[in-house]
Each structure stands twice: as structure tokens, then as C-alpha cells.
Structure 1
């Protein structure tokens, strides 16, 4: 009507045509409107699902790209070290002592003493770290003090290794007045590994389903037995993985053992008494020393040392993965 304003409808619109057909056929317009609303809701839902699908693909692409960014440098470094150091690897290089200040012969004493040091790191750090994580996860009362302790332990994992070296030198040489022995370097590396072991073990214990503990306690089992015979075996995969990763990190550290008096490769008796009597010889320091000494050691021998160190770290990491898979598969078989 003139002077009135209103909406202008397009009579050719398919929805209006759908309603007109209902009316022309003598059907209830309300039923037609209800079906139109259902069709509209399906259309909106379909467009929303399509947007979610695009978002999911975008997020998946970002995560895949992040994985590639992490894996590609590792693969490039590994291939480069293998290609440059494989020619130096031989029976003599791995199982004989150094000659002519390391220009000839092999580095067997360094490899053996490195393994001694890593075993000592595990002996010093793993029991203390696991027991500490058990207390923090099972017995400590929740509160501000516990949060402060957990935050402190997490921050200790990021402290530079040279700071641990300075602390180890001050503790063992100035306070305890001990000799520059291999166990001093191992104890210093163990202090650095403690933060990782405690954090990973604590998270493994906290990830256990609460119903397992509650069921054990409900059956009358003591808190101590529940912790050590129920909760701890369930957390073994995470504890072992974190411990081996911490030890593999210790294998590549140079600054702590440099400060506590590491020496270059020499022919020494390789009996367990070397742990107490001999100064530390480790592959990480040997590689650092050979690169910086400037005595003309062949590049392939330097890359050979790097390849041996990379192999030890790789073996520890793969062992952690295989042990975790094996323990989890055994637990799955027992449950079934």
C-alpha cells in the first residue's frame, strides 16, 4: 500500500516456491515452514562442518610442518656426520689405544671410560631422582610449598651445564677435597641429570589412573605397598624413558667435565679401579680437545669421534624407546 514500508520478497526464491507448492496442494503452511527450517538448519550445519574440516586440515598441516622442521635438521646432521666419519671407523679405531698423541691408533680407553662414567651417572642419579619423584607425587601435601619445589626442579633442568661444572668443582675440590677422578665428573653430570629424571618420573606417576591406587587401598593394602608394588610398576615406562634420555644428554656434555679436570686420550688401565684413580676421559671432551688443539689431527678422525659419540647417544635413545614399548606390551598382555 502507498506510504507503507515493508520487506520485498523475491518470488523466484526456491524456498518461497517450495512454500507456494505446499499451499497450492492444500497442505498446512506450518508444516512447510517446519521443513524449511530443517533444511536451513542442515545447510548451516553443513557449512559449519566444512569450516571445521578446513580448520582441521590447517592445524594438521601446521603440526606436520613442525615435525618436518624438527626432523630435517636431525637427519641432515646425522647424514653429514656419517658421511664424513664413516671412513675413519675401523677395528683399530674402536679397540686400540692412542698413538702419537692421538694422530694414530684408536680411542678405546676413551670409549670405555665414557661408558664407565655413564654407568656412574645412572647409579648416582636414577635412584635419588626416582625416590624424590615418589615423595613429590605420592606423599607430599599439595600446597604452595610443593608448587614452589616443582617449579624449582623444572627450572634446574634449564640451568647451563657450565654452572653445574662450577658447582661440582667447588663442591668436590674445595669442600670435600677429593682428587680429580672420573667419579667426580660422573657425580657432576648426575646432578645435571637429576632435574630431568625427577620431572619425568613424577609426571609418569601422576599420569596413573587414580582408580588403581584407590582400588588397592580399598582392599586394605598399605600406602607403601601400593606405591612401590602397584603405582611404581605402572610408571616404569615413563621412568625408564626419562632416565635414559637424561643419561644420553649427559654423554654429550663437555663443560662440566672440562671444569673438573678432564684430559685427552691416554693409555690407562681399564679396570674398574680407573673410576677412582684416573682422571676423566670422555668422548665429548676428546672431540672438543681435538678440534681446538691445532695439532693437525686428520678431519676424518675428528668426524669419527663425533660418529662414535652420536652412535652412543642414538643407542641410548633407541633403547629407551624399545624398553618403553616392551614394558607397555607386557602390561597390555597381563591385563588381557
Structure 2
């Protein structure tokens, strides 16, 4: 299992990239980060796949990224010594209110198309569009909860939508997220569900569900769901989760105005597009997979009930994130 880079040195005092007046709560709210966990600068490198007929080595995009915690701005600097704006990173509140909107509500800003995400991101007609990327709750894309990706280079060998979308943007952004994602070795890293999980678990404790198996957790970006032993316990978990989702305890990781200067769909060259897009990182919840296996836990709450419970939890998360990602910015 790969380990990520070391963060700022531990101890008292101001760490790299931190303004002295900042408090831990501000970092948690703005970036879903613990105060001492930020990696504000680091190296990125992404090489294109070699072309069979090409002479010489394949093109490479490499340099250093720099994150300004006061503004949320990310910059990259390559060998030309000129810094480039890579966009802004933030953790936006998912403010749903009562989840009673009709299923046939028109969403004129949303369209469904059968295409390839890298091609669509780099299409000039989609300048300033919002793309909802499948990822984990830490903004990264790991093959499983037991396999941590440390470098944007590794995304080249994962052909699913999340990694491909990350590759289509400037690689400095993906590497910044990988360096800062919450993992087993970096528990205070980016975690969009940190506040939500803490609040729901506290509610369950107050309701008398004191067993650890009745709590939520985030394991290397994957949401681990409770394992209730009865219909009553399952109902209590779902009610507590719904209340905290409506109380805006879930965050949505957003990268705004990102240049699409990453790899082209063939992955043998880099895009020359001049426009920018916005990226929203949304995470599905695994059902009967990864950290959420299904096995009979009691005579009164078997496999079918547990799978239905997991489905309802997953649905709540998807609805919350996608409504947050497609919400009218003026409301």
C-alpha cells in the first residue's frame, strides 16, 4: 500500500502556508482539512503514453504546485519559471433543506450525453461548464480502500471516469488532491464527510446506539456504513443521517476555473485547449463491496434488510451531492 508524502512538521507554531490568525475550524470548513495536515506545495509529473511512430521520448508536464490557503488559489510553475493559475479549491456546503422536491422537477442546466469525459472537458463548447466527477470523499480516486494512489501518473492506468477526468485537467490539481487526501496515514487530510460523520455518530450515541458497528466512518475515502441489527436501529441511522444532511453537514469538494491542459483522450499528447471548466467531486457509497460487506447479522435483520439499508444510505448521499453539484448558483 503506497504512502503519501509527509505533511508539514508537527509541533507548535505556524506551518507552511498557514496564516497565523487561522484556526483549525476555519480549515475544516473551507477545505475539509485539519490545520496541521495541509501540503501547500509539491511536485507533479505526468508523462504521455509514447506513440509507436514517434521519435524521441513522449511529452511530459511537470513542475511545482503552490496552494494559497488564504485565497484557495492553486498555481503551478514549470521549467519556464512562470506561474500559472490552476484555479480555486474549496469545500462548499451542501445546503439542501427539506428533501421533498418532486422527481420530475425540470433541471434546464443539466443534460445527459453519451460521450467521453476527457473529450467533453476539452471541448471549447463546454467552457465554464460544471463536471461532476466520480471520486472518493477525499477528492482522490483509489482502486479500493486498501490501495492508495500517490501520484497522478497512476491514473493513466485506470480507465474509469474519475481518473480520466482528473487526467484531462492540468495535472497539478490532481497531484495537490492526492497529496492532501485523507488516508489511514493522513487522517486529517481532505474529507468531505468529516463533519457529517461526526454529527451523525454523535446523534446515534445520544439515541442509545453505542456499539462501534452502529457508527459511520471514512476509510481511505470510502464511506463505511453502520451494521444495524434491527429495523429500529436501521431507521434510527437513516433518520439521523437525513437530519444532518439537511443541516448542511456534508461538504462538496469543488475546483473552479481549471484549465484543461492535461492528457487528450488518447493519452499520447497534451491538450492545447485555452478554456477552463469547473470540477465537482462526488462519491458513490459502495453497496456490498469494499468496506461494506453484507452478511447476516441477526435473525431479525438479514442480508436482504442490510442491503436495502445500504441502498437507502447510498441514495441519500448521491441525491445530496448531485443536487449540490447542479444547484442554481443564484439560490
TM-score (structure 1 length as normaliser): 0.28
Which protein has the bigger helix share? Answer: 1
Which protein has the bigger strand share? Answer: 2
Query: Rg bigger for which structure?
Result: 1
TM-score (structure 2 length as normaliser): 0.28
